[in-house]
């Protein structure tokens, strides 16, 4: 009977230790790997000029190829320029979109490294609102 039970308990102990290791170490580290947290940062370095950056505050890289809508109240557009393979597209009198070029497909933005998207210069010093376009926000033709 001992010859049967001793190997059985040894195998069970190894199995239980493996399960405990999985739940305490492997699964915890897989969850902490997290996901990207990409958002738009608007900087105002001088009067009438606003710079737009993408920042990833998550724990994993995420896609850089996202559209960004920019809008503002009570001012006219003087100039806008897309940077880092982004094009600027006017979408209205007081709005525009920064659209990624095809070369950004598959390119990642890594945590903690901001990526310049573009800048906007207006006639008046007004606040700008910028946000990443989700698939439901696409303009209708």
| pLDDT tens figures, 55-92 | 998 888 899 999 999 999 989 999 999 998 999 999 99
What band does 141 get if pLDDT is binned at 50, 70 and 90?
very low
Domain range annotation of the chain: 1-32, 38-136
Share of the chain above pLDDT 90, in %: 55
Model confidence, pTM: 0.71
Domain with residues 38-136, CATH architecture: Sandwich (2.60)
User: Which of 4-8, 24-28, 50-54, 73-77 has the least mean pLDDT?
Assistant: 24-28
Give the angle 133-70-105 at the CA atoms, nearest 5°. Answer: 45
Is 138 a residue whose pLDDT tops 80? no
Half-sphere exposure of 9 (CA within 13 A, CB side): 6
Handedness of CA 12, 13, 14, 16 (dihedral sign): positive
pLDDT in tens, 104-123: 988 999 988 899 999 999 99
């Amino acid at each position: 009977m001992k010859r049967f039970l001793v190997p059985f308990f040894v195998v069970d102990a190894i199995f239980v230790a493996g399960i405990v290791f999985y739940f305490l170490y492997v699964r915890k580290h897989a969850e902490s790997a997290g996901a990207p947290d990409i958002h738009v940062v608007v900087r105002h370095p001088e009067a009438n000029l606003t710079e737009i950056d993408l920042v990833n505050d998550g724990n994993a890289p995420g896609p850089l190829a996202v559209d960004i809508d920019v809008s503002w109240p009570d001012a006219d557009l003087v100039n806008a320029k897309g940077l880092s393979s982004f094009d600027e597209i006017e979408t209205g009198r007081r709005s525009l979109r920064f659209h990624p070029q095809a070369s950004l497909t598959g390119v990642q933005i890594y945590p903690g490294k901001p990526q310049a998207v573009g800048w906007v210069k207006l006639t008046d010093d007004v606040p700008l609102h910028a946000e990443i376009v989700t698939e439901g926000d696409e303009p209708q033709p």
